[in-house]
A = this chain, B = another copy of it.
């Protein structure tokens, strides 16, 4: 299934006690329809407050299901902040996490607080130098150990990721005043560590504000020390846009 969610309503993807999570919402809705509660596996976890437009998840059904009807039932049962946009039977060994070859995240910012859409953007003051941030972001591309950009508590041991794309892109002018610019940071990698995109954005922001030289990104990568990187950017600007598979997860 392809799932969109507004992260503001949840304590992240993964089930945890006493907090609403996306995984819990989907499993509960499936339980109502199927009369049995399946385990729903996502392509990866997203943190509290992080959004998704293109999360992919799977579950094993005990019997054949009418995917079209099930999707409609789920959307009727789920809170409005979660939408299942696509649902289909796939090959029996498909795995949303292990089969994923890449993920695309976008981090959205605006240079001024806005009344419309502030919900999914980080409002930057002072305004950073986006060219300088792009100069620094080049150092992220390629295969690196991202220890320094991984949350310290993370239990992941292998911290090598291959970043294929990392770039700030201006979005079309939406406001009738040049004071308000909308930008997004696009990053594509084979895998992401816990808190990695937010640590990268927070560190680039320090470069863009002249608090660090652009060369710092390589130095921080080499250090392997989370304390060398900048503070994490707020969750609300981050969206999991797309999960890439070798073959479409749709049934042939």
Which residues of A approach B to under 8 Å, CB–CB? 2, 4-6, 51, 53-54, 75, 80-83, 85-86, 112-120, 174-177, 179-180, 239, 241-243
Q: Which residues of B contact A120 (CB under 8 A)?
A: 116-117
A118 vs chain B, min Cβ distance (A): 7
Contact status of A115 and B75, CB under 8 A, knowing A175-B4, A176-B242: no
The residue from B5, B115, B174 contacting A83, defined by CB atoms under 8 A apart: B115
B6 near A116 with CB under 8 A, answer: yes
Contact in complex: B176, A241 (CB < 8 Å): yes
Q: What residues of B have a CB within 8 angstroms of the CB of A175 in the complex?
A: 4, 53-54, 85
Q: Find the B residue at minimum CB distance from A54.
A: B176
Q: What chain B residues lie within 8 Å of A53 (beta carbons)?
A: 116, 174-176
**Cβ-neighbour of A115 out of B5, B115, B241 (below 8 A):** B5
- State whether A179 touches B85 (Cβ < 8 A): yes
> Is the Cβ of A51 less than 8 Å from the Cβ of B81?
no
Q: Is there an interface contact between A85 and B180, defined as CB atoms closer than 8 Å?
A: yes
Contact B114 A176 (CB under 8 A): no
A84–B86 Cα distance when bound, in Å, is 40
22 contacts between A and B (CB under 8 A): A4-B114, A5-B115, A6-B116, A51-B116, A53-B116, A53-B174, A53-B175, A53-B176, A54-B175, A54-B176, A54-B177, A75-B113, A80-B113, A80-B118, A81-B115, A82-B115, A83-B114, A117-B117, A117-B120, A119-B119, A176-B242, A176-B243
CA distance A243 to B176 in the complex (A): 9
Q: How long is the Cα–Cα vector from A44 to B241 in the complex, in angstroms?
A: 38
Closest CB of chain B to A50's CB: distance in Å? 12
Q: Are A86 and B179 in contact (CB under 8 A)?
A: yes
Q: Given the complex of chains A and B, what is the CA–CA distance between A142 and B80 in angstroms?
A: 41
Most buried by B among A5, A115, A117: A115
Task: Assess whether B54 is in contact with A85, with CB atoms less than 8 Å apart.
Answer: no
A120 nearest in chain B by CB position: B116
CB proximity of A224 to chain B, nearest CB, Å: 33
Q: Which of B2, B51, B112, B118 contacts A176 (CB 8 A)?
A: B2
B179 A116 Cβ-Cβ under 8 A: no
Closest to A118 in B: B80
Contacting residues, chain B, for A112 (C-beta < 8 A): 83, 85
With the chains together, A177 CA to B2 CA distance in Å? 8
